[in-house]
Amino acid sequence: AQLKQTASQTENQNLRKALEEIETARAADAEKARTEAAKSSATITTLNQTIADLESQRQAETEKARLAQERVRAMEEEARQARLQYEKTLAELNERLRLAESESARLTETVEAQKAEKAALEERLAASEIKPVAEQTVEKPVEPVAKPAETEAKPVETQQVPEQTTEQPTEKQAERPTRRPRILGDAVALETPAVTAEANGDGTFKVSDAPQSSFDGKVESTERVSTTDIEGLKGEIARLAASGVEADAAKARNLETVVRILENTGSPKVQEAAQRYIARRIAEGRLAEGQEAEGLSSGRPAEAAFGKGVGLGIVVSAALSFYVDYQRQAHGAEDYDAAATISGR
């Protein structure tokens, strides 16, 4: 019994020792588990913070990418606008170049036409008798003085009075010797039938035939350039001067010279001649345009038949034509290129 009791005690001690070892191991495992749990929690916290930081970085990068895309789109829009502006400027320059080339071609054609006209005129001058431009004078019929013995034998020859004279000369005028008055330059002109028109005051014109000559101020006419036409010339001068094209600026300077002559010049003779010359050209141009448009037959004013723009073109053309003739008279036809100042229209 004592041995059994001793063995039982020993077994109990062994069991307690084993139990203590188990408790110690369990406590160690629990501590280890707590340590691992703490480490895991710290790791999870670190990972969460890292994830948050990465998310912030991602959002920042996304915002940067968005801003970069917006800048790229803005730059693309600027490039597109710049390209459109460049294309527009290029088109304008091409159009101006085309107009300049067209103007140059028209000027070249006009130069050739003027040269051909000059050659034809020289041929006509060489082939026919040219009458110098002079004031219309009236000569009294001259009867040749005959001897008494020849009075009945020979008929009396008389000199015909020019058709354009409307007044009979007085005795004193007939006795005066005819003379050639001073004219602008040494110009001569062929007197050929031409159409002239007299303004009726209602926009229509009375058409008649009259002698035509170069600019000399000797063709009888009561026409003058209207204030409206002169104002139109001034407006055209302002438009041409503002265009920035050298050819237009030259044309504007020429028109300014004409307007100064029409309004006030040192020579009343030149001013009156300019008034008649330009008024006649304007009347002829309006008559031709009005007949072409079939507007004059309806009783409408001339400009109503072909438009205000064409009417202004006729006035400008007449003024430039006078300028060319005036320069020819002043400087000589050989030293002045008439076509250099006139466009096609």
- 74: pLDDT strictly greater than 90: yes
- Is residue 207's pLDDT more than 90? no
Give the mean pLDDT of the chain. Answer: 72
Q: What's the whole-model pTM score?
A: 0.33
Give the mean pLDDT of 85-108.
Answer: 91
Average pLDDT on 184-200 reads 44
CB atoms within 10 A of CB 296: 22
Q: Are 107 and 246 in contact (CB under 8 A)?
A: no
Angle subtended by helix axes 2-127 and 246-263, to nearest 10: 40
The pLDDT-based confidence of 1 (bands split at 50, 70, 90) is confident
Mean pLDDT of 119-145: 54
Q: Give the DSSP letter string of 247-278.
A: HHHHHHHHHHHHHHHHH--S-HHHHHHHHHHH
The pLDDT tens digits of the residues spanning 157-178 come to 444 434 444 444 454 444 444 4
Bridge-partner residues for 207, per DSSP?
197
Q: Rounded to whole angstroms, how far apart are CA atoms 31 and 37?
A: 10
Give the confidence band of 146 by pLDDT, cuts at 50, 70, 90.
Answer: very low
Angle (nearest 5°) at CA 318 between 203 and 343: 125
pLDDT in tens, 269-309: 888 888 888 888 888 888 877 666 554 445 544 444 445 66
* Mean per-residue pLDDT, 118-142: 56
Ranges of each domain in the chain = 1-128, 136-180, 191-345
